[in-house]
Structure 1
């Protein structure tokens, strides 16, 4: 990075690091609170005070985009292809159905509500794949504006947090086994961290199953982003290849490379631990920076329709996952 760019980024980066440190400290003191959730809340609280200096804008933008993309790429080191194939073909098919039908159904519901294409696309992918990381990935290959991105991220946090409580309670009421409940959690809840929290609350073997099923959904981020990018290339102007978005964003390529590297078994455990810690810090930084852009006035301005779509999408994706679990659970 050129020195003048580093000077421009420094104030916002320093603010982001301070917010991230507070979020991580709060999460350490209260383990039930995910640091990324805390960071978004802290960022939003600070942003709505109107006290963020103008000179912090460049660093906050760097954190919410560049750091987030690096964090998404590092998610690849959580995925072992052998763990996913070990789920069996029925569970893999179920994961594909959840993601595809989740996106298609949410887009259709959003269209019926009269929402714009990019807003419903962000919500559809965030709720069907992997929450804020999916929102950010889709934002990189779409024409969404900042308000739409922040709305989708906020809704992911709110409804995903509600699901941490709802899935364990409903699993008990429905009499699901730990394995079936874990599959449902992994197949329906938005964020990886939210899935881990719900799986831990269910207990038994649920956490391990939930995590692997969720990571199988994360793996589908790459093909979904590629399809969206290809679609955008087809509908954007033809001023030349330089004006067209990349078919596959570089951070998605890095994500896939790291998936293969982790699956090879060549990465030592210590390196995985360091990468996991780095990923948490980077994504927490990004969530704090994104949070600073959340404006309560803007959320009121977007109205009730995105909230209605988010609620409907949560029910739709959870319903798809539950139906699939009930269908195949006798054989898993």
Structure 2
């Protein structure tokens, strides 16, 4: 509600300011330019925070900066008016480009090296966590598409999964805010809690790395958590985590099929006769989400390229830096849509779902480590 109200205020009360701004802005400067520049500056600030405090992942810092900006009245007004087009572009298009580039981190040979038992366990944990979180979210009557977005974020790959799933579910910005806040909170807690539990649980480096890769949300959070136990733990954690990321494609495809089937049922139920079905069918089918969005297909293509093409290390390094920068800008933009005042009204139910999902995936992953090692 806070987002919609701010946008409405900006469009009515800020009309003269917008006109003045348009006169001062060069004709070659795009409407989205200011928002993208701000997101880029925020990404650089997040990099500085990460450099000063390595325990804070860069992407987590970017989300945090966005969340802070979203609470300050002065920046709220800018985010909801002059910066809005660029922030929206960063939160959607730049996020999707970053997800495509994320595929270059993963080779199918790395996945095969884990062995079939580990791959099957990863798929099972993702499926169980996703289904249980979705069911709990619906049971507690979370609004909009929050249940499925929280399920994707906690079971697959954090904020990136939330952004990817929101494309196929056509989620509103306010529905994305709560899941992103929750995966950021729980992923940050994992950086400090999981290493403390390592010794009492008797986990060696490889076991700890597998536990982290199976249970922690964002890739950056996985790196920050696993590196505490050493390079062996980090190597295992990254491969396991990126294999979890690969499950994003089939999960999005499944949800896309479900969404299309639901649209078809609603169309048939709402049409009174054949002529109406034909009239409304063309319009509705155009609005149906793609079974596999283009950027998910691009992500899979990037994985295949990394597998079959011997890419030079310099190119992979540049792609990695670009991917990190784009995701940092996107996550700042997504974080800036979070309004704590709005979250407080329904936040306790979402918090229960998030903490329950986090506990479930941690316990399932720990059990899997015991079985596999």
Superposition TM-score tier, normalisation by shorter sequence:
over 0.9
Match of residue 221 from structure 1: 248
Offset, 1:6: 5.6
Q: Does 1:207 align with 2:234?
A: yes
Q: Distance in 2 between matches of 1:192 and 1:204?
A: 16
- Could you tell me which of 96, 101, 112 is aligned with 1:74? 101
Aligned to 1:131, the other structure's residue is in SS state helix
Offset, 1:115: 2.3
Offset, 1:144: 2.4
Match of residue 198 from structure 1: 225
The 8 Å contact of residues 94 and 330 in structure 2, kept in 1 or not, is answered as: yes
How do residues 227-266 of structure 1 correspond to structure 2 at under 5 angstroms?
A: 227-237=254-264, 238=267, 239-240=281-282, 241-266=285-310
- Could you tell me which of 34, 39, 46 is aligned with 1:23? 46
Q: CA RMSD in A?
A: 1.6
Q: Does 1:118 align with 2:145?
A: yes
Match of residue 311 from structure 1: 355
Q: Does 1:321 align with 2:348?
A: no
Offset, 1:218: 0.3
For the pair shown, which has the larger CA radius of gyration, 1 or 2? Answer: 2
The 8 Å contact of residues 144 and 175 in structure 2, kept in 1 or not, is answered as: no
Q: Distance in 2 between matches of 1:28 and 1:178?
A: 25
Offset, 1:204: 4.8
Match of residue 327 from structure 2: 283
Q: Distance in 1 between matches of 2:191 and 2:53?
A: 16
Offset, 1:93: 0.8
Instruction: Tell me the matched-pair count.
Output: 327
Offset, 1:266: 2.3
Q: Does 1:98 align with 2:121?
A: no
Regions of 4+ moved over 3 Å: 3-6
Q: Does 1:60 align with 2:87?
A: yes
TM-score (norm 1): 0.95
Gapped runs of 5+ residues in structure 2?
Answer: 1-25, 268-280
The Cα offsets for residues 25-75 of structure 1, whole Å up to 9 and x where unpaired, read as: 222222222121111221222221122321110001001110001001111
Aligned to 1:55, the other structure's residue is in SS state coil
Offset, 1:257: 0.5
Q: Does 1:132 align with 2:146?
A: no
Offset, 1:4: 7.4
Q: Distance in 2 between matches of 1:320 and 1:234?
A: 32
Offset, 1:117: 6.3
Q: Distance in 2 between matches of 1:200 and 1:59?
A: 35
The 8 Å contact of residues 170 and 289 in structure 2, kept in 1 or not, is answered as: no
Change over 3 Å in CA distance of 1:131–1:328 after alignment to 2? same
Gapped runs of 5+ residues in structure 1?
Answer: none
Aligned to 1:8, the other structure's residue is in SS state coil
Q: Distance in 2 between matches of 1:228 and 1:39?
A: 28
The 8 Å contact of residues 91 and 331 in structure 2, kept in 1 or not, is answered as: yes
Please say which of residues 234-243 and 178-187 is displaced more in the overlay.
Answer: 234-243
Q: Distance in 1 between matches of 2:159 and 2:176?
A: 9
